[in-house]
Every structure is written in structure tokens, then in C-alpha cells.
């Protein structure tokens, strides 16, 4: 796989900005086009260091606008697509499921249609970035493999499952070359503070309560975002047409234990007494349909493509905490607008 003109959707978001940075800097022969609608989650400040590179191009467009997307494909004839643009937050999908169907399902369909129509698809690749949430919820044991049946529980995961199915359907029906990867929870720099880790970091800095859903015993499998970006580059270059790859960090944490670890790191960095931040932990009403446990069997990508995570959780979480402490102006900007309204609505009983 050696296409030159590569479209990345959602490149101004959390994971997208890391993927754009990696491909622009490591593959100077590629022309990278980032299409992003710049929703509340998209932020060009995430890419300030990438902008001066002559092989990087930003195009503001909404993937739900089929006409605009079609015109861009007609004009640029992208060789391959790495599709990350999405509504990505589970709690928002519970408040507004239709937006998730629109962006994640119809937006993906618009891209598939335009790619099929305008690109030399046989030489390229449609790479759909998906989530382990499509597999539903695990009990106390077991791991999600590429053969686990889809069983999504939230409007977000249902919309991602649907988009995965559409990508596979375009492969089977029209011979469109594709790969899909399903990854576990990411953490790292530039993550919007609606997600658990940056939300807690911001609240600890401001001595605000740390909202733990339910009993806090829900489990997630955390992966450093730069490891996800290298996994995406690996799948893009070495993945086999029509295949799915699960990506994860072999790194399960109960939410409550993770928050306590974060509290202790923050106390040390902020010069607070040990145990100070833990006092902020507040158990709040549970997320409806809350998946109990996610855990990924990543042996296929490790065995077949030679990828494995390189950053330990200890190291990754420390880097993340340091990044947020150094970039409090970034945080202030992203929480200054719509976030206030969302936070009030989501945590009103907090």
C-alpha cells in the first residue's frame, strides 16, 4: 500500500491530530488532506506544529454534506481514505442519538459513495477507524477478538457498528478495498475534557468534584494515543484487504482505581498532600446502558503486522498529566464555550 494523496477525516480531533502528525512527518512523500467540520471536538490548535509542513492541507468540510464531500473527491481524487471523523462521546449519544446516526452512519456512507465514484479504488484503501464498543460488554473474564459478535449498547456504539457494516458491505458488494480497526479507550494529549481522564485532570486542578458513574467498578482497557497512531499507520500500510484488526493495550483498569492513581499523580505534581485529590471523588448516577468491561485481544495485529504498544501506562499517564498541566491555556479555551452548557446538563445532579 503506497498511495500518495491521502484523505484523513476528523484530523483536528484527539486521535486524528496524532495520526495526521505521524503521517505528515514520517511520510513526506504523502500529501495529507485533513477534512474536518471543526465541531466542538475539532480544534486546529491541535495541529499548529503540523501546519508549516508543505505536504499537509486542511479543508473544512462536513461529512454529512454529501454534495460538498463529492466535490472534494472529484477535485482531489484521493488515493486512500483514513476515516476518523465521528461524534465520539457516549454520554452525548444518549442525549442526542440522531446526530450520531447522521455523522457516523450517513457521513461514512457519503465518504464511501464519493470514494467509489471518483477514486481509483482498486489501487487505494478505505480505512475505517472504529471502536471496541461495537462488541458490547464483557463479564468478569474474556477478551474481545475479531470474531466476537457485534452487540452494541449505546447509540454511539450502535452508530459505529452500523458504519462498520456499511464499510464491509461496500467491500462485498462493490469490491471496495477496505480495512477496519477496533480500538480500546485512548488517552493522551489533546483529548477533549468530556472524556474521563482529561475531565478528572481538569477538575482536580480546579478542586471540583470527580464524578464517578455508579460504583466505579466498570473496567476499560487503556491505550496511549501515540501507540494507537502507530497502530493505524501499521494497519494502513500492512493490513490485508477486507480484514479487521483489534487494537488494545493489555491494560485494564477499574475506573475507581484509575481515578485514584490519577489523584495521586496530580497531588505529587501540584504539591498537594497525599490523599487530597481523592477527597474530590463523588459517586454520581450511572450512565444508562453502561458497558461493564472492555478488554481487547490484540494478538492478531501483533502477530500478523508486528505492532505492539510501546508506552507503559505509568509513563503514558505521567506524560498526559504533564501535558495538561503545561497546556492549561489549551484547556481554558476548549472549556470556555459549549462545554459549560454540556457539563451543566450532564452533571446537573452532581
Known catalytic residues are 132-133, 156
Contact 293, 143 (CB under 8 A): no
Binding piece for ligand NAD, criterion CB under 6 A, among 20-28, 37-45, 90-98, 233-241: 37-45
C-alpha span between 310 and 48 (Å, rounded)? 25
Please give the residues from 94 up to 153 whose contact with ligand NAD meets the rule CB under 6 A.
Answer: 103, 107, 129, 131
Report in angstroms how near the CB of residue 99 gets to ligand NAD at its nearest.
Answer: 9
Binding piece for ligand DAU, criterion CB under 6 A, among 60-68, 108-116, 209-217, 306-314: 209-217
Three-state SS string over 286-342 comes to CCCCCCCECCECCHHHHHHHCCCCCCCHHHHHHHHHHHHHHCHHHHHHHCCCHHHHH
Query: With binding defined as CB under 6 A, does residue 178 bind ligand NAD?
Result: no
Could you give the maximum distance between any two Cα atoms of the chain, in Å?
61
Residues 6+ apart with CB under 8 A from 273: 267
Choosing from 16, 211, 249, 316, the residue that interacts with ligand DAU (CB under 6 A) is 211
Q: Calculate the alpha carbon distances from 38 to 46, 65, 239, 335 in Å.
A: 11, 14, 29, 15
Query: With binding defined as CB under 6 A, does residue 324 bind ligand DAU?
Result: no
Pick from ligand DAU, ligand NAD, none: which does 119 bind, CB < 5 to 8 A by kind? none
Give the DSSP per-residue string, 256-290.
Answer: HHHHHHHHHHHHHHHTPPTTTGGGGEEEEPPPTT-
Report in angstroms how near the CB of residue 239 gets to ligand DAU at its nearest.
Answer: 19
Pick from ligand NAD, ligand DAU, none: which does 213 bind, CB < 5 to 8 A by kind? ligand DAU
**Site residues, ligand NAD (CB under 6 A):** 9-10, 12-16, 36-39, 41-42, 62-64, 84-88, 103, 107, 129, 131, 160, 183, 185-186, 192
Amino acid at each position: 500500500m503506497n498511495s500518495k494523496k491521502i484523505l484523513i477525516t476528523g484530523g483536528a480531533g484527539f486521535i486524528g491530530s496524532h495520526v495526521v502528525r505521524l503521517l505528515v512527518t514520517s511520510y513526506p512523500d504523502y500529501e495529507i488532506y485533513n477534512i474536518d467540520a471543526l465541531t466542538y471536538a475539532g480544534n486546529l490548535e491541535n495541529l499548529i506544529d503540523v501546519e508549516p509542513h508543505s505536504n499537509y492541507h486542511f479543508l473544512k468540510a462536513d461529512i454529512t454534506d454529501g454534495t460538498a464531500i463529492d466535490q472534494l473527491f472529484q477535485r482531489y481524487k484521493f488515493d486512500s481514505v483514513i476515516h476518523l471523523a465521528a461524534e465520539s462521546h457516549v454520554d452525548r449519544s444518549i442525549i442526542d442519538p440522531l446526530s450520531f446516526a447522521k455523522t457516523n452512519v450517513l457521513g461514512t456512507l457519503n465518504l464511501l459513495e464519493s470514494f467509489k465514484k471518483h477514486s481509483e479504488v482498486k489501487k487505494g484503501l478505505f480505512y475505517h477507524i472504529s471502536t471496541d464498543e461495537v462488541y458490547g460488554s464483557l463479564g468478569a473474564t474474556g477478551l474481545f477478538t475479531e470474531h466476537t459478535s457485534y452487540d452494541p449498547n449505546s447509540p454511539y456504539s450502535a452508530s459505529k457498528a452500523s458504519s462498520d457494516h456499511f464499510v464491509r458491505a461496500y467491500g462485498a458488494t462493490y469490491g471496495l478495498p477496505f480495512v477496519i480497526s477496533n480500538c480500546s479507550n485512548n488517552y493522551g494529549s489533546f483529548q477533549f475534557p468530556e472524556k474521563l481522564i482529561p475531565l478528572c485532570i481538569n477538575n482536580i486542578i480546579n478542586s471540583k468534584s470527580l464524578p464517578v458513574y455508579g460504583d466505579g467498578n466498570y473496567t476499560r482497557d487503556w491505550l496511549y494515543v501515540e501507540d494507537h497512531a502507530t497502530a493505524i499507520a501499521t494497519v494502513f500500510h500492512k493490513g490485508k484487504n477486507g480484514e479487521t484488526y483489534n487494537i488494545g493495550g493489555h491494560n485494564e483498569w477499574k475506573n475507581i482505581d484509575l481515578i485514584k492513581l490519577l489523584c495521586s499523580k496530580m497531588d505529587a505534581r501540584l504539591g498537594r498532600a497525599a490523599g487530597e485529590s481523592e477527597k474530590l471523588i463523588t459517586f454520581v448516577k450511572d450512565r444508562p446502558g453502561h458497558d461493564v468491561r472492555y478488554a481487547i485481544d490484540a494478538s492478531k495485529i501483533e502477530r500478523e503486522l508486528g505492532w505492539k504498544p510501546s508506552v507503559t501506562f505509568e509513563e503514558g499517564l505521567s506524560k498526559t498529566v504533564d501535558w495538561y498541566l503545561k497546556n492549561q491555556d489549551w484547556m481554558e479555551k476548549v472549556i470556555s464555550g459549549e462545554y459549560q452548557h454540556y457539563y451543566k446538563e450532564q452533571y446537573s445532579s452532581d
